[in-house]
Amino acid sequence: MSPSVTIRILIVEDQTIVRQGLRRLLETEPTLEVVGEADTVDSAVVAARRYQPGVILMDLKLGRESGLDATRLILEENQEARILALTAYDDFPMIEAAATAGVLGYAPKQIAFSQLMDAILAVSEGRQYIHPSLASSLMEGIRQQAAGRTLSRPPLTSEEFDLLKLMAEGLSYGEIASRIFVSERTVRRRTQTLLEKLEVGDRVQAVAMAIRHGWF
């Protein structure tokens, strides 16, 4: 993260000890500012409206309530809200439900601090984030959901298909760049071309399309 950029964070978590611990952890990072906390759906909506955070860390289970409900209500008021689910759920149905609700990033609560920083930065920039540990659940779920359906491959080059496979592994732009020995800028440019060819909006949708239609 650039030291000149401060990302405003709202923490939505119903367990006080977890919420306070997360706050203390985040406040050790000078590029982050925790502007508020919430522990219910209603308080999350109010806090999002009041603080206009750059990233909302959203627990998907708020006592007897659902963080997905909070997500939907927040996005109804502000379509630009950027929400990172930080949750104990790692199964495909929950990942799919979160994506449908509008969550931009999805990570397990046991995420390493350095990876959490990567996730927060990605979401703050409007990029989707799926933790690498969830890639297998995501891919298997999509395969099962779309079993038997195939579509002929679009006019992608072999280079672009290789890039798509690396995306499916959950690698970051930097990791892909290291793997294929090009600059991160080149990876981002090639990714944008690939997305335009597939007529999708982001990497997750591109990978989902490839798996759904049996391209690899």
| CA 133 – CA 169 distance, rounded (Å) | 10
User: Given pLDDT bands bounded at 50, 70 and 90, which one contains residue 2?
Assistant: very low
Per-residue pLDDT, averaged over 117-123, amounts to 93
What pLDDT was estimated at residue 121? 93
What pLDDT was estimated at residue 147? 52
Q: Where in the chain is the domain with CATH 1.10.10.10?
A: 146-212
* Topology annotation, domain 146-212: Arc Repressor Mutant, subunit A (1.10.10)
Q: Is 87 in contact with 108 (CB distance < 8 Å)?
A: yes
What do you get for the CA distance between the two ends of the chain, in Å?
34
Q: Is the pLDDT of residue 181 over 60?
A: yes
Q: Which CATH class is domain 7-131?
A: alpha beta
Q: Where in the chain is the domain with CATH 3.40.50.2300?
A: 7-131
Beta strand pairing status for 65-66 and 61-62? antiparallel
Give the model confidence (pLDDT) of 38-64 as tens digits: 999 999 999 999 999 999 999 998 988
Q: Is the pLDDT of residue 1 over 90?
A: no
| CA 91 – CA 137 distance, rounded (Å) | 6
